[in-house]
Amino acid sequence: MKRLLWGVAALILLALPLFTDAALGHGWVRILDFALLYVLLALGLNIVVGYAGLLDLGYVAFFAVGAYCYALLSSPQFNLHWPLWVLLPLGAMVAACFGVLLGTPTLRLRGDYLAIVTLGFGEIIRIFLNNLGAPVNITNGPQGISGIDSLSVGSYNLGQTHRWGLFEFVPVVNAYYLFLIGVLLAIVFSHRLERSRIGRAWAAIREDEIAAASMGINTRNLKLLAFAMGASMGGLSGGLFAGFQGFVSPESFTLMESVMILCMVVLGGMGNIAGVVLGAVLLSVLPEALRAAGPLQQEWLGRVVLDPSNLRLLMFGCALVLMMLLRPEGLLPARARKRELHGE
Amino acid sequence: MNSVIKPLLRAFDIHKSFGGLKALGGVSLNLEQASITGLIGPNGAGKTTFFNVLTGIYKPDVGHMEFRGKALPAGLPHVVATRGIARTFQNIRLFANMTVLENVMVGRHVRTSAGVLGAVFKTAATMREENAITARAHELLKYVGIEARTHHVAGTLSYGDQRRLEIARALATDPFLLALDEPAAGMNASERTQLGELILRIREDGRAVLLIEHDVKWIMKLCDCVTVLDYGLCIAQGPPHKVQNDPRVIEAYLGVVAT
């Protein structure tokens, strides 16, 4: 029975982009692609915030590092065209190094203080990317890097349309499958880490750092490990993003993005993989769905009373306030988090 | 554990001040292998401060410690635990939202080694280790007598059971020395007796126990050796009956006789 359910779920996931493409068009498949990238980001941040309990408000910096890593080594910028299987792991590793770089000075900080420092770190990375256009042009400054090679696995270029039998695989559909692999790997990775010696040590640090240290847990190393693991997923997502978009600029990596990713984690349910995935999908797909509010108003009221983009923010704000009042532990909370907030 | 009979722990002239407050003003003491030592003294005598220095939570201003013949690093709690000193806390510090079993499993961290790769690829070695951790945790819960609560959430246990769980978690690190900070606080007479039996059993297993306690009667019955602190100084050390009659100890507890 369980196996059957998994099979059905797998089939749905595999067929989803093809159906969406046929029914709603490329635009919606693209939204799904971005949802998957956000899931990857949220899963990474979940390791830092959900497992180890370290509030990180600059997480988008790792996304940026991964994206720029891919962009610089696979574009006309330096005329380098490295293959995907080198670039993605490299981006993840470079991001992990940045994770350690951020982690080291913040080891003694917790809660609000940590949040402020990480927020600063996120901004520093963005501003660096913005200003590394001169005197030596590395990142091309605010113009960003364009003409990035499209994702390709071996000789199979994901940026082109392929036809297999009855099905037509357009670039957005190809990207969906690649991103899905990334997300599934990240889920297995997170799940196994959580239920391991390392995951228990993270949970212990989150619960009581002094007691954890007294039990022989090297809190410094384990916190750095959490930063590095979380950052590597951000870096991977960044690499995929760069290859998918074909263009990166510092504008994509603002504080608002960090806040959004954190919201996905918190809204879905910190520390619980299913919750985090749900949160990421909801918060990346719903705003897009609300775009339809403009034409609907036009049709029913004769004019656009509320601009869809304002409406989006309004509903987003309301949803967050309601969540914090009614279900602060998130939609699908982790066991421990629920207890913490409601007792038992 | 060690054939040569020499002190398990030696503390040399430990000083610790907080601003103008001198919490420890030169404490030196020895702990023997497989012994139960009581650390007593009036409130504010520096007992818990000594514990915190011993377990690396505070760095002493002056002085050093030697454990099993080797210098004990100052201010590194996780290294202290690795070397074989485990502790409990005066104001219970369990991982309250984790289960009882998970709490004890965390205690095994220091004696196990699985890393990220082992966890992600579920290697045979990692799985073996995980099984061993779980088995040992169950064993320890039985040892302290709370196996019926294995899958409960730690924070929901009764006070006495939380104390026991803290001891089980500490024992999971395979310590040579178990430091208990007021383990009997808030317990009734029968719970105290049970705890005393548990502590005796721990000594029989070859571990030394250092405990802070206010109930002097209870501690005099239980301990092989008693150390009395007063105003950050060690004023007496020796077998219970001797310490009990030491005029300085009587003075510390009862004050000076008016003349």
The string of DSSP codes covering B181-231 is ESTTTT--HHHHHHHHHHHHHHHHTT-EEEEE-S-HHHHHHH-SEEEEEET
Chain-centroid distance of CA A60 in Å reads: 8
Is B91 a member of any domain? no
Residues of A in contact with B120 (CB under 8 A): 188-189, 192-193
Number of compact structural domains in chain B: 2
Distance from CA of B248 to the nearest CA of A (A): 34
Query: Is there a contact between B109 and A339 if contact means CB atoms under 8 Å apart?
Result: no
What does the alpha-carbon distance between residue A245 and residue A70 come to, in Å, rounded to a whole number?
Answer: 11
- For B107-164, the DSSP string reads HGGGG----HHHHHHT-HHHHHHHHHHHHHHHHHHHHHT-GGGTTSBGGGS-HHHHHH
Residues of A in contact with B93 (CB under 8 A): 208, 210-211
DSSP A57: S
Tell which of B157, B174, B191 closes a domain.
B174
Report the residue of chain A nearest B122, measured CA to CA: A192
A308: pLDDT strictly greater than 80: no
Run of H or E including B12: strand B9-18
Residue with tokens 């029989």: B204
Query: Is there a contact between B170 and A215 if contact means CB atoms under 8 Å apart?
Result: yes
Per-residue pLDDT, B2: 46
* Average pLDDT over every residue of B109-115: 93
Per-residue model confidence as pLDDT tens digits over A55-90: 999 999 999 999 999 999 999 989 999 999 999 999
Residues of B in contact with A339 (CB under 8 A): 97, 153, 155
φ/ψ of B151, rounded to 5, equals -100, 10
What does the alpha-carbon distance between residue A64 and residue A126 come to, in Å, rounded to a whole number?
Answer: 8
For helices B124-144 and A197-207, the axis angle rounded to 10 degrees is 50
Specify whether B179 is located in the same domain as B259: yes
Query: Is there a contact between A216 and B153 if contact means CB atoms under 8 Å apart?
Result: no
B42: pLDDT strictly greater than 80: yes
B257: pLDDT strictly greater than 70: no
Residues of A in contact with B95 (CB under 8 A): 203-204, 207-208, 211-212
DSSP A8: H
Residues of A in contact with B87 (CB under 8 A): 214
Residues of B in contact with A218 (CB under 8 A): 78
Specify whether B79 is located in the same domain as B16: yes
What does the alpha-carbon distance between residue A240 and residue A183 come to, in Å, rounded to a whole number?
Answer: 11
Is A338 a member of any domain? no
**Dihedral through CA A82, CA A88, CA A91, CA A93, nearest 10?**
-120
Residues of A in contact with B169 (CB under 8 A): 215
Query: Is there a contact between B94 and A211 if contact means CB atoms under 8 Å apart?
Result: yes
- Where does A104-158 have alpha helices with state H? 111-131
Specify whether B201 is located in the same domain as B217: yes
Tell which of B141, B157, B174 closes a domain.
B174
* C-alpha R_g of chain B: 19
Is A211 a member of any domain? yes
Contact assessment for residue B123 and residue A229, using Cβ atoms and an 8 Å cutoff: no
- The mean pLDDT of chain A is 91
Is A6 a member of any domain? no
Specify whether B189 is located in the same domain as B75: yes
Distance from CA of B176 to the nearest CA of A (A): 14
Is B209 a member of any domain? yes
Is A297 a member of any domain? no
Structural domain containing residue B244: 1-84+175-259
Collapsing DSSP states into helix, strand and coil, what is residue A135?
A: coil
Query: Is there a contact between A211 and B122 if contact means CB atoms under 8 Å apart?
Result: no
Q: Lowest-pLDDT range, A188-197, A253-262, B246-255?
A: B246-255
- Nearest by CB to A215, from B107, B118, B129: name it: B107
Residue with tokens 């993270």: A202
Specify whether B167 is located in the same domain as B180: no
Domain at B43, CATH number: 3.40.50.300
Report the residue of chain A nearest B77, measured CA to CA: A214
Whole-angstrom CA distances from B34 to A242, B206, B223 are: 63, 5, 11
- Nearest by CB to B153, from A201, A215, A344: name it: A344
Is A15 a member of any domain? no
Per-residue model confidence as pLDDT tens digits over A154-180: 888 888 888 888 888 889 999 999 999
Whole-angstrom CA distances from A85 to A183, A240, A291, B186, B200 are: 16, 11, 36, 61, 60
Is A308 a member of any domain? no
Residue with tokens 């250092």: B210
List CB contacts of B192: < 8 A, sequence separation 6 or more.
B184, B215, B218
Distance from CA of A102 to the nearest CA of B (A): 20
* Res. A318 pLDDT band, cuts 50 70 90: confident
Residue with tokens 């502790």: B87
Please say whether the dihedral angle defined by the alpha carbons of residues A314, A327, A286 and A59, taken in this order, is positive or negative.
positive
Query: Is there a contact between A337 and B89 if contact means CB atoms under 8 Å apart?
Result: no
B139: pLDDT strictly greater than 90: yes
Specify whether B164 is located in the same domain as B207: no
Whole-angstrom CA distances from A154 to A82, A173, A279, A289 are: 11, 17, 33, 35
Buried b (16+ CB within 10 A) or exposed e, A160-193: eeeeeeeeebbbbbbbbbbbbebbeebbebbebb
* Average pLDDT over every residue of A23-49: 95
φ/ψ of A248, rounded to 5, equals -130, 145
Number of compact structural domains in chain A: 1
Query: Is there a contact between B109 and A337 if contact means CB atoms under 8 Å apart?
Result: no
Query: Is there a contact between B106 and A229 if contact means CB atoms under 8 Å apart?
Result: no
Is B89 a member of any domain? no
Mutate to test the interface with A, among B83, B94, B98, B126 (most CBs of A within 10 A): B98
Residues of B in contact with A225 (CB under 8 A): 116
Q: How many CB pairs under 8 A join A and B?
A: 110
A340: pLDDT strictly greater than 80: no
What does the alpha-carbon distance between residue A162 and residue B149 come to, in Å, rounded to a whole number?
Answer: 59
Angle, CA A52 vertex, CA A206 and CA A224 arms, to 5°: 125
Specify whether B121 is located in the same domain as B65: no
Specify whether B140 is located in the same domain as B244: no
Q: What percent of chain B has pLDDT over 90?
A: 76
Is A141 a member of any domain? yes
Per-residue pLDDT, B1: 47
Per-residue pLDDT, B193: 92
Q: What percent of chain A has pLDDT over 70?
A: 99
